[in-house]
Amino acid sequence: MTKEEVEELAEGAILLDGFDDCITGVVEEFGNGVRILYSRDKILESLQKDMSYEDALEYYYYNIVGGHFGERNPLFLL
């Protein structure tokens, strides 16, 4: 799925900068609209290009999962 397809399907959903290749798909939730689904493993792999696994894991949970970016936050596949 290309970024353009995701943006079209999930207009208004939160996109994470720099993690386009980690998008798994688009999901729909009753009452919350369409949201973007990311692969946790792919995000961790991407982060490990610049840091250790432990630092990547900490960054992921604190800055990505723990971040509130808006009403239509992304979801993460474990």
**Can you tell me the distance from the alpha carbon of 42 to that of 16, in angstroms, rounded to the nearest whole number?**
13
Q: Tens digit of pLDDT for each residue in 43-62?
A: 999 999 999 999 999 999 99
Q: Is this prediction's pTM over 0.95? A: no
Nearest by Cα to 36 from 50, 45, 25: 25
Top-confidence residue, 29 or 47: 47
Would you say residue 69 has pLDDT above 90? Answer: no
Closest CA to 71 of 16, 13, 7: 13
Query: At residue 29, what is the residue type?
Result: E
39 contacts 24 by C-beta, under 8 angstroms: yes
Reading the block at residue 22, the tokens are 């980690």
Spatial separation of the C-alpha atoms in residues 72 and 55, rounded to whole Å: 26
